[in-house]
Structure 1
Amino acid sequence: MKNQIFYLALLLCTFNSCKSDYLEVKPRQSLLVPTTKTELQALLDNLDVMNNAPGIVQVATDDILIPDASLPSLASPFEKNAYIWEKDVFPDPNVPEWTLAWRQVFYANVVLEMISGKSETEKPTFDELKGAALFFRAIGYYHLTQMFTNGFDPATAASEKGLPIRTVADVNQSPPRGKLLDTYNFMTGDLLEASRLLPKLSAYKSRPNQVASFSLLARIYLVMQDYDKAFEYADKAIQLNGTLINFNTLNSASARPFPAVLPNGNGEVSFYAAQISYSFMSFLSSSVNVNPALYQLYDSNDLRKTIFFNASGKNFKGNYNNVSRLFGGIANDEIYLIRSEAQIRRNKLQEGLDDLNTLLINRYKTGTFFSYTVSNTPDPLSLVLNERRKELPFRGQRWTDLRRLNQDAKYKTILTRQVNGIDYNILPLDKRYTYPIPQSEILNSGMEQN
């Protein structure tokens, strides 16, 4: 009971937007412990905690160009540090990407522990809640690995540092960092179990379902470079729901061309999440611009050019959230691209191109798109990677793509910027692609730094 009271104190701290490290919260004897389905569902329905995705990595990608005059207006020192790829990005101990992801893991573990304490006859009635908690724990770990562990290399993952594996809600336990391969296997294990417990679709886009579980599995296996499994789970997701928006039906003149996701809009989206908000995300103003090199990738018949960007090409408006915070969830267009890439990498070239054709016919002006075939496409892999770049800007995927593609000499990218007359760059496989663990965590838990 003492641990349960402690857990709820931490939960209430999160509900009240505590700024201090959540490990410092003290238990209060007057707090009630969540045990019913309604109470446990309420924990997982807390959008301010459970439906967040990293935001700071977006400013570090080649999607963005910030004019020198706008840099002083950035509200957080994190933003400028990430933009110029400083080694020490986080001068402040409170790092939202670290704290919120671990809160997702913590909330999930509270729910899982409560369910495990139910009687054997009660447990099956909690299956959907259990599946949701497993999904949230997995996606919390996924977000942490894309920032705070090295990129996944199949040749070294068994020896690289991963993350501590937390399967209990007791925050007084401080397991050591495991191996990276074990961390990824932990995520996929959670998602495989979740996919057996969750419904095909959800009443609300903020709640996990089978499609989202299979989609996240496909995303993770793509990062792991396991293309057979990436194909398998992308295919399962698309078989359940392969809806794509035909961009010919959207109003390209609109400042917000996409339908709202919540509670259950935007048919392409299988799971809603929003990137953690930073001041650089003011894309509809003139202070932060789209990288001209990105805008120039789109030809005149490609509707993404006018749906994603304003008339000048300087500002991004193609936000799948249709709100101020950038989309950080999962949508079917990404899953078609995963299935396409996986097929091509498995030497099933036409099958991969067919998936790409299915996507692109919904992205080009009616009657202007001509399908790709093996005979007219000399380099299918380069094509699908280029289309991935064009389809997913500002979606939180570019940083991960750079980390994985930089392992291949053919696709490696050197990022460069000039800021106030000074040249900055980050080379492929640079250690700065892995962010430092917040110093407060090192001091509190003794966790090994990157």
Structure 2
Amino acid sequence: MGTFTLKYRAIIYGCMIAYILTGCKKQDDFLNTKPNQALETPTTLADLSNLLNNENVFNRNCDPAISEIASDDVYIQDSAFGSLSLSIERNAYVWAKNMYDATSTQVADWNNPYKMVYYANTVLDALPGIGTTVGNQDQYNQIKGAALFYRSFAFYNLVQTFAMPYDATNSGNQPGIPLRLTSDINLRPQRASEADCYNQIISDLKEAINLLPVIPVYKTQPSQPAANAFLARVYLAIGNYPSALQYANACLDKFNTLSDYNALTSTPTSVSNNFISEDIYHSTMVNYSTITNRRYAYIDSALYSFYSSNDLRKTKFFTILDGLPQYPRFVGSYDFKTNKYSGLAVDEVYLIKAECLVRSGDISNGMTALNTLLIKRWKTGTFVPLTASSQSDALKLVLLERRKELLWRGIRWTDLRRLNKESGSGISINRLVNGTSYSLAPNDVKYAFPIPDIEIQLGGLTQNPR
């Protein structure tokens, strides 16, 4: 190994030590049970487990958020737009051609997922040297499965943010993201094709499933249900509805708990004062003031009007501040620490199942899946099951409820990307900021954010058009 590699691996391991000393914990009630030791190099399974248990790397504020700012989940008033502290927020909100400037030295939406990838690759590279014995096989498998899950989770979020929407007819020619599959920082791969990116994501997840436990110790750790739920999300994103249904069912076969909103104790910024029972895998988005400050961001009043008075989401998800009903503010995160939840939960899996069944022509079972979710969202005794007389009506109902249920979960951007590929969808987003109109048309090239300038310079990567 060369001097250059040793030098920079030492720097990165130093960063790992800092993270482990300050961040190797799982929220509040887990603090007393988590190990707290520094690692010079990972040489044992315990070392590798410590790396993967770093919530600051894998769970907290790690998933891209600029796509959420750019979606129609988020609107802000002119006064709030002018007070945004970061240019990247303003530019994402209006889909600016130039996303980054001198203040954008660190693009967390790119850096944080690739930090996850580096940690996961460090674990995967170290495992063969440690090997297995009769006594450590289960721990070895769980560590490998978790590393594969985390790497695929990061790759998927990067592809949704920095590559164009998936097109089966052209995915082999469309640039995706660099697939970093080793912890060797001297290797700087070019952008793989979108086809290769999704193949890697799916391959990692399928390998992880049988290595992971059915029930994780913590909500912030991956499991078999989480891997199946995530595969369902991935397959839905690329329009492979039969496979999405297959993995949604596989998830629900092992974990199908839905939280009854009638029994939740809400807080001013979340639907519950603890981990919600239907949470499968817990993670949150990068913190930006737009999507974390309820005094800034609001949702479209037209969407708010679709929530019935007996629908508990109307009060669990929203608050009206300063007597301004035209600006309903979102307070419905599944993260009780006030961050914006972007993990995997059972409600999303039921919605995937419902959509895929309806698309296959099984309207009856599709509506049953949808109603199984909704009865847990309405005031006890008031819910009347939804019905549909045609496939198109059923699909409209499912997609509307998906829109209402998964608000501000980092999912809408991908939904816009995939739905606009369908004939007749044509979902445009329009904004009026200080008298200037902005619009994002269906299938616009701006559905892929620019790769950070420093990555273009250092890695010689091909930039996305704007």
Matched, 1:57 2:67: yes
Task: Indicate if the aligned counterparts of 2:271 and 2:331 stay in contact, CA closer than 8 A.
Answer: no
Cα distance in 2 for partners of 1:227, 1:290 equals 29
SS at match of 1:273: coil
Matched, 1:289 2:303: no
Matched, 1:109 2:112: no
Name the stretch that deviates more: 89-98 or 31-40.
Answer: 31-40
Residue 255 (structure 1) aligns with: 268
Cα distance in 2 for partners of 1:268, 1:72 equals 38
Task: Indicate if the aligned counterparts of 1:63 and 1:294 stay in contact, CA closer than 8 A.
Answer: no
Cα distance in 2 for partners of 1:78, 1:299 equals 36
Cα distance in 2 for partners of 1:399, 1:8 equals 38
Residue 23 (structure 1) aligns with: none
**Cα offset, 1:119, TM superposition:** 3.3
Task: Indicate if the aligned counterparts of 1:283 and 1:316 stay in contact, CA closer than 8 A.
Answer: no
Task: Mark the CA change 1:411 to 1:11 in structure 2 (over 3 Å): closer, same or farther.
Answer: farther
Cα distance in 1 for partners of 2:338, 2:262 equals 24
Q: Select which of 103, 107, 118 maps to 2:130.
A: 118
- For structure 1, the residue ranges without an aligned partner over 5 or more in a row are 18-29
Cα distance in 2 for partners of 1:4, 1:225 equals 44
Name the stretch that deviates more: 171-180 or 271-280.
Answer: 171-180
Task: Mark the CA change 1:40 to 1:6 in structure 2 (over 3 Å): closer, same or farther.
Answer: farther
Cα distance in 2 for partners of 1:439, 1:93 equals 9
Cα distance in 1 for partners of 2:384, 2:428 equals 32
**Cα offset, 1:4, TM superposition:** 6.9
**Cα offset, 1:377, TM superposition:** 7.7
SS at match of 2:432: strand
Q: Select which of 2, 10, 34 maps to 2:12.
A: 10
**Cα offset, 1:299, TM superposition:** 1.7
* Corresponding letter in the other structure for 2:341: F
Task: Indicate if the aligned counterparts of 2:205 and 2:231 stay in contact, CA closer than 8 A.
Answer: yes
**Cα offset, 1:447, TM superposition:** 1.5
SS at match of 2:158: helix
Cα distance in 1 for partners of 2:39, 2:259 equals 46
Q: Select which of 455, 459, 463 maps to 1:441.
A: 455
Task: Mark the CA change 1:138 to 1:376 in structure 2 (over 3 Å): closer, same or farther.
Answer: closer
**Cα offset, 1:186, TM superposition:** 0.4
Q: Select which of 298, 307, 315 maps to 2:307.
A: 298
**Cα offset, 1:50, TM superposition:** 1.2
Task: Mark the CA change 1:233 to 1:380 in structure 2 (over 3 Å): closer, same or farther.
Answer: same
Cα distance in 2 for partners of 1:15, 1:232 equals 41
**Cα offset, 1:31, TM superposition:** 7.8
Cα distance in 2 for partners of 1:376, 1:101 equals 42
TM-score (norm 2): 0.88
Cα distance in 2 for partners of 1:346, 1:422 equals 43
SS at match of 2:315: helix
Matched, 1:159 2:173: yes
Q: Deviation per CA, 1:117-155: give whole Å up to 9, x if none.
A: 123537734110000000000001011001011111112
Task: Indicate if the aligned counterparts of 1:75 and 1:278 stay in contact, CA closer than 8 A.
Answer: no
Q: Select which of 232, 239, 258 maps to 2:246.
A: 232
- For structure 2, the residue ranges without an aligned partner over 5 or more in a row are 20-37
**Cα offset, 1:256, TM superposition:** 4.3
Residue 27 (structure 1) aligns with: none
Cα distance in 2 for partners of 1:405, 1:336 equals 18
Task: Indicate if the aligned counterparts of 2:269 and 2:338 stay in contact, CA closer than 8 A.
Answer: no
Task: Indicate if the aligned counterparts of 2:299 and 2:329 stay in contact, CA closer than 8 A.
Answer: yes
Cα distance in 1 for partners of 2:93, 2:403 equals 19
Cα distance in 2 for partners of 1:378, 1:79 equals 37
**Cα offset, 1:88, TM superposition:** 1.8
Cα distance in 2 for partners of 1:284, 1:272 equals 21
Q: Select which of 397, 400, 408 maps to 1:383.
A: 397
Residue 95 (structure 1) aligns with: 107
* Corresponding letter in the other structure for 1:386: L
* Corresponding letter in the other structure for 1:427: A
* Corresponding letter in the other structure for 2:404: K
**Cα offset, 1:330, TM superposition:** 0.8
Matched, 1:86 2:110: no
Count of aligned pairs between the two proteins? 433
* Corresponding letter in the other structure for 2:121: N
Equivalent positions of 1:375-414 (< 5 A) are 375=389, 379-414=393-428
Cα distance in 1 for partners of 2:398, 2:172 equals 29
Q: Select which of 344, 365, 369 maps to 1:351.
A: 365
Cα distance in 2 for partners of 1:283, 1:334 equals 24
Equivalent positions of 1:124-163 (< 5 A) are 124=137, 125-163=139-177
Name the stretch that deviates more: 154-163 or 229-238.
Answer: 154-163
Aligned Cα root-mean-square deviation (Å): 2.1
Cα distance in 2 for partners of 1:393, 1:89 equals 24
* Corresponding letter in the other structure for 2:291: M
